[in-house]
Amino acid sequence: MQRTQEAIQKHLEAIRSPLYEIGVFFPAASAGADSKMLLRTWDEVTIFKSVPWLRAKNAEGAAIYIRPKGEHPYSLVDDLAAEAVQRMTKGGFTPAIVVETSPSNFQAWVNHGELLDRRTSTQAARALADRFGGDPGAADWRHFGRLAGFTNRKPAYAGRDGLFPFVRIVEFQPGVYPIAPCFVGEIRCAAIEQGKGSRNASAINHRGSLSIDDFRADPRYSGDGNRIDLAYALYALGHGGTEDAVGAAIRTRDLSKKGSEARQSAYVARTIEKARTQLAGVLRR
């Protein structure tokens, strides 16, 4: 019981949420029978109070799953090999938590550092699955992951002694992965480009590319000037724009809150340099 509670505590620390959805899934017992999912919406306190009930259901053959309730800042990458998890960390996508769900098979949760709408969250999950060889069928904004501390009751994993392997935490580094702003910006830029054809022609400049005003009008940035500037810089530099042109575009908004002219210039330069650095790593395939 104590080991289960400790594993759950770590799992919840890595994917913080006001509420969680807990799935208790009973697979079909035989051909022609129906599977059954019991779904509960609980806060952290209720989850811990319910550990004895969850353990009992797990012992009866149920799989125990978890996901944050509603929109959230995380992506789950499912069905990963150990090598893929290493590549994630080396590439700047350090998972907040990695769970071994069966021998040599892993699920990784990454923290984007900001609440993602459902569309962006799904696109991020798909991009991560594609990049690291995860299961594309599990790449969406609300997919369940196995909850650490319980056993994987699939018959194929039963040992000779009849025992099943525990779903265990193998890496635990709660927090935002290093290149989250760049990756999320890349995902949003791609989404804007995909929807470009349906935009009103007046929203596109004469070369057919996106202007900084398109980013300022995009509700997903919530009017956050710094985020808009970086996202535009990533987009423009990635599409052949010059640093001078990007800097001039950023300066079309009032930067007086940044301070003196020297401070404004330093802000523009930092934004462009940050975009350059991120493009050098994240946009490389």
What would the pLDDT profile of 29-73 be if each residue is shown by its tens digit?
A: 766 678 899 999 999 999 999 999 999 999 999 999 999 999 999
What would the pLDDT profile of 147-183 be if each residue is shown by its tens digit?
A: 999 999 888 888 777 788 999 999 999 999 988 888 8
> What per-residue confidence (pLDDT) applies to 193?
62
Which contacts qualify for 52-60: CB closer than 8 Å, 24 or more apart?
52/1, 54/22, 54/24, 54/147, 54/150, 55/1, 55/4, 55/150, 57/24, 58/150, 58/151, 58/153, 60/26
**How do the domains of the chain map onto residue ranges?**
2-178, 181-282
Q: Are 145 and 78 in contact (CB under 8 A)?
A: yes
Q: Per-residue pLDDT averaged across 235-257, rounded?
A: 87
pLDDT at residue 206 is higher than 90: no
What would the pLDDT profile of 265-282 be if each residue is shown by its tens digit?
A: 999 999 999 888 876 655
Tokens describing residue 187: 């995902």
> What per-residue confidence (pLDDT) applies to 194?
64
CB neighbours of residue 55 within 10 Å = 16
- Considering the segment(s) 181-282 as one domain, its CATH architecture is Orthogonal Bundle (1.10)
> What per-residue confidence (pLDDT) applies to 280?
66
More confident residue, 187 or 20: 20
Q: Is 30 exposed, middle or buried (0-12, 13-18, 19+ CB in 10 A)?
A: exposed
pLDDT at residue 199 is higher than 60: no
pLDDT at residue 132 is higher than 90: yes
pLDDT at residue 239 is higher than 80: no
pLDDT at residue 107 is higher than 70: yes
Which contacts qualify for 140-144: CB closer than 8 Å, 24 or more apart?
141/71, 141/116, 142/67, 142/118, 143/67, 143/76, 143/78, 144/21, 144/23, 144/65, 144/66, 144/67
Q: How does the average pLDDT of the chain come out, rounded?
A: 87
CATH fold, domain 2-178, is Alpha-Beta Plaits (3.30.70)
Cα separation of 213 and 232, whole Å? 9
Q: Model pTM?
A: 0.71
pLDDT at residue 204 is higher than 60: no
Residue type, 130: D
In this structure, of 96-100, 156-160, 236-240, the range with the lowest mean pLDDT score is 236-240
